[in-house]
Amino acid sequence: NDNRRVIAVADPAALAEAAAERVLARIEANSGRVAVCLTGGSSPKELYQLLATDPYRSRIPWQRVHWFIGDERFVPADDPLNNMGMARAAFLDRCAPAANIHPIPTATADPTDPDRCAALYERELHSFFGADTLDQSRPLFDLVLMGVGPDGHTASLFPGDPALDETARWVVGVPRAHVEPFVPRITLTLPTLASCREMLFVVAGGTKRAILTRLFARENLPANSARSAGETIWLVDREALPEGFGG
């Protein structure tokens, strides 16, 4: 399904604001328990910092919002490369109840076995959502945030990697990253990421224009295979936006 919508914004500050508004809208659309899947990398950092400041901070009902992560570098929680560590430092540790933060447990697993770590997170997801199969009519996440790498990867789903074809498991280990940092990864699979009401890509800066040009030309790359069963939105700033896409 080609349900992708591109929203162009001026710059990284406008991108963070537009993304924060979408986070809030998704939270407000659900009066019960909310599940948000965060992303790593540098792109969402400004958004995360914004969520920790008013008016956003006081508009978020922190007690009923749960925060997951779509992929993780296989490093300890306090390693500067840790994706959830970045999100915690940027906003979660100051705002969210500890029980509502759901990191991929990189420390509790055998340090040589990312797949075992993936299995632990899969079990946590099964238990949180009370299901071990995906159901189109009951998406797991209210919102899934995503980034795009220079090779068209998203989450830790790299071009040509077998993790892309996984349909049964919710979370898998990726022994070799294809781009820096070259540490093993743990990633949610495409069907799991797709199980959401909204998938929101945040993409900013001139270094992203080349890969966006390829993606918007519909090249077969992981970021093009990542589609929500609901809405898929690409928030893109002016510097990243390919020629001919307006904005």
- Applying CB under 6 A, the residues found at the interface with ligand 6PG are 39-43, 71, 73, 83, 147-149, 153-156
Tell the smallest beta-carbon distance from residue 75 to ligand 6PG (Å).
11
Backbone angles phi, psi at 151, to 5 degrees: -100, 10
Q: Are 72 and 40 in contact (CB under 8 A)?
A: yes
Residue type, 96: A
Tell the smallest beta-carbon distance from residue 19 to ligand 6PG (Å).
13
Tell the smallest beta-carbon distance from residue 88 to ligand 6PG (Å).
15
Q: Which residue sits closest to ligand 6PG, CB atoms considered?
A: 147
Q: What is the dihedral of CA 131, 133, 136, 139, to 10 degrees?
A: 40
Residue 61 or 111 with smaller CB distance to ligand 6PG:
111
Residue 148 or 235 with smaller CB distance to ligand 6PG:
148
Residue 162 or 246 with smaller CB distance to ligand 6PG:
162
Q: Write the burial class of residue 150 (CB in 10 Å: 0-12 exposed, 13-18 middle, 19+ buried).
A: exposed
Closest by CA to 120, choosing from 35, 186, 39, is: 186
Tell the smallest beta-carbon distance from residue 2 to ligand 6PG (Å).
22
Dihedral (CA of 129, 118, 98, 14) sign: negative
Residue 154 or 228 with smaller CB distance to ligand 6PG:
154
Residue 46 or 122 with smaller CB distance to ligand 6PG:
46
Q: Write the burial class of residue 121 (CB in 10 Å: 0-12 exposed, 13-18 middle, 19+ buried).
A: buried
CA separation for the pair 134, 113 (Å, rounded)? 25
Which residues on neighbouring strands pair with residue 186, listed in sequence order?
Answer: 72, 173
Tell the smallest beta-carbon distance from residue 60 to ligand 6PG (Å).
22
Tell the smallest beta-carbon distance from residue 103 to ligand 6PG (Å).
13
